[in-house]
């Protein structure tokens, strides 16, 4: 079945429908990863967006449900050059097409994704519609696209009630702003008892539970929209509890301390972004997925110092808060692009909790 991708600048690209046959409007972003499409599809940070995969063949190793980062996919659609019809992998449970049909997510293939990515890089991320209707009114669609906004997504993706992942080590409170499963797994395999809290949990409840540490997760959307959460983070920052923030958690902690964030032209999404540790000079390969960034010149240098920068464009990738057991990074140490390049940050978090407990 023929399908169309319509961008808000009036560009129309024609391809073939796969997955669910339904019409969606979303923000269109691109990811440069060669593998990991299942982890990308089940990353809650993509809520409200459709993902363009720049690698030309997607789906060739099928789907292994054990590798999902959440209970279902979050992107509104998947855009690929070619969707593999056959999957070669001893762990495979179904094809990508079957997976998208199962969860009612539309896909479009046959798109020149390199050309589409060049458009998004040159003009910036824009909204788009995927439809199988051939009688669409371009002017009406463009009007709809210009009105679309990604909003309310943190509340949408966060868990609705707290749950506990047992462990016999440190007790960690994980704030779920759209947390990938591998964050809690990374803590749990280091012995931590992880209590996952809904995004809008009050700081008083978390403090009353007496955790040894607090993890601030990744998540979708504009960090400035999370006004209530930012106010609770100010209270958590005022305690002496060690805090580790990832991605959206990094941005929210910066906002809680007076820094500013802005939307990037096309963001960082992929598994090959080099980040430099300013303390050691070492460069690590990182996995990233964000469309907003913390403005380095907005940091209060009396309370914060830059710990990591992006080697490609020099943007801020990490912050250490002075005189506090608080560190945050923009990239994903729980992901495996290196494959283990930045896992040491979890060890640093464990060490922060050890030091705080002995104090």
What phi and psi, each to the nearest 5 degrees, are found at residue 152?
65, 20
* Res 359 pLDDT > 80: no
Same domain for 185 and 118, yes or no, is: no
Query: The domain spanning residue 281 has which CATH number?
Result: 3.40.50.880
| Residue 173: Cβ-neighbour burial (10 angstroms; 0-12, 13-18, 19+) | buried
The Cα-based distances of 142 to 126, 136, 137, 139 in angstroms read 11, 10, 9, 5
Confidence of residue 341 (pLDDT cuts 50, 70, 90): confident
Active site residues per annotation: 247, 332, 334
pLDDT at 192: 98
User: Are 132 and 172 within one domain?
Assistant: no
Residue 336, pLDDT score: 73
Q: Do 135 and 193 belong to one domain?
A: no
Q: Which of 171-175, 253-257, 338-342 has the lowest mean pLDDT?
A: 338-342
- Domain shared by 161 and 130, yes or no: no
Number of H helices, E strands in the chain: 10, 19
Q: Is 89 annotated as a binding residue?
A: no
pLDDT tens by residue, 11-29:
999 999 999 999 999 999 9
Pairing of strands 106-109, 77-79: parallel
Q: Is 291 annotated as a binding residue?
A: yes
- Which among 150, 172, 198 is the end of a domain? 150
Tokens of 225: 């929209």
pLDDT band at 342 (very low <50, low <70, confident <90, very high): confident
**For residue 5, is pLDDT > 70?**
yes
CATH of the domain at 7: 3.50.30.20
Q: Is 221 annotated as a binding residue?
A: yes
Tokens 């809650």 correspond to: 44
Tens digit of each residue's pLDDT (9 = 90 or more) over 156-204:
999 999 999 999 999 999 999 999 999 999 999 999 999 999 999 999 9
User: Is 203 in the same domain as 132?
Assistant: no
Read off the pLDDT of residues 219-234 as tens digits, 9 standing for 90 and up: 999 999 999 999 999 9
**Domain co-membership, 171 together with 70:** no
Are both 130 and 201 inside the same structural domain? no
248 marked as binding residue? yes
Q: What is the mean pLDDT of residues 339-355?
A: 91
Task: Point out the domain boundary residue: 94, 122, 150.
Answer: 150
The tokens for 337 are 């692009």
Domain end position, chosen among 150, 173, 196:
150
Burial 178-201 (b: 16+ CB within 10 A, else e): bbbbbbbebbbebebbbbbbebeb
Could you tell me if 119 and 66 lie in one domain?
Answer: yes
Kindly state the tokens that stand for 25.
Answer: 């409007």
Q: Domain count of the chain?
A: 2
Q: Measure Cα distances from 26 to 106, 173, 270 in Å.
A: 12, 32, 19
In this structure, the strands spanning 77-79 and 57-58 are: unpaired
pLDDT of residue 337: 67
Q: How many CB atoms lie within 10 A of CB 219?
A: 30
| Same-domain pairing of 85 and 184 | no
Question: Is the same domain home to 276 and 166?
Answer: yes
173 and 223 part of one domain: yes
**Residues 36, 129 within the same domain:** yes
pLDDT in tens, 97-147: 999 999 999 999 999 999 999 999 999 999 999 999 999 999 999 999 999
> In percent, how much of the chain has pLDDT > 90?
97
Burial grade of 11 (CB within 10 A; 0-12, 13-18, 19 or more):
middle
Domain that holds residue 272: 154-358
């Amino acid at each position: 079945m023929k399908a169309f991708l319509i961008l808000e600048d009036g560009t129309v690209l024609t391809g073939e429908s796969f997955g669910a046959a339904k019409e969606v409007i979303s923000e269109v972003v691109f990811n440069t990863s060669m593998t990991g499409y299942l982890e990308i599809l089940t990353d809650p940070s993509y809520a409200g967006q459709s993902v363009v995969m720049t690698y030309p063949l997607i789906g060739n190793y099928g789907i292994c449900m054990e590798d999902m980062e959440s209970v279902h996919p979050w992107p509104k659609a998947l855009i690929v050059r070619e969707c593999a019809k056959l999957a070669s992998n001893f762990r495979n449970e179904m094809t990508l097409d079957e997976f998208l049909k199962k969860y009612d997510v539309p896909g479009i293939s046959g798109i020149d994704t390199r050309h589409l990515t060049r458009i998004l890089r040159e003009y910036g991320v824009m909204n788009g519609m995927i439809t199988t209707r051939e009688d669409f009114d371009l002017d009406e669609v463009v009007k709809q696209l210009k009105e679309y906004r990604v909003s309310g997504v943190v509340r949408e993706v966060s868990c609705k009630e707290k749950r506990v992942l047992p462990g016999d080590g440190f007790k960690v409170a994980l704030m779920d702003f759209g947390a990938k499963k591998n964050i809690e797994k990374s803590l749990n395999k280091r012995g931590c008892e992880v209590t996952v809290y809904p995004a809008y949990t009050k700081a008083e409840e978390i403090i009353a539970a007496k955790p040894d540490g607090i993890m601030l997760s990744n998540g979708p959307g504009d960090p400035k929209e999370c006004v209530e959460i930012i106010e609770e983070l100010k209270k958590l920052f005022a305690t002496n509890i060690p805090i580790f923030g990832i991605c959206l958690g990094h941005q929210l902690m910066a906002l809680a301390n007076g820094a500013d964030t802005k939307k990037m032209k096309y963001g960082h999404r992929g598994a090959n972004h080099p980040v430099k540790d300013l303390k050691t000079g070492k460069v690590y390969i990182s996995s990233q997925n964000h469309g907003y960034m913390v403005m380095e010149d907005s940091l209060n240098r009396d309370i914060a110092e830059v710990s990591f920068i992006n080697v490609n464009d020099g943007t801020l990738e990490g912050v250490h808060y002075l005189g506090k057991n608080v560190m945050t990074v923009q990239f994903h140490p729980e992901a495996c692009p290196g494959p283990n390049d930045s896992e040491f940050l979890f060890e640093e978090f464990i060490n922060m909790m050890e030091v705080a407990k002995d104090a």
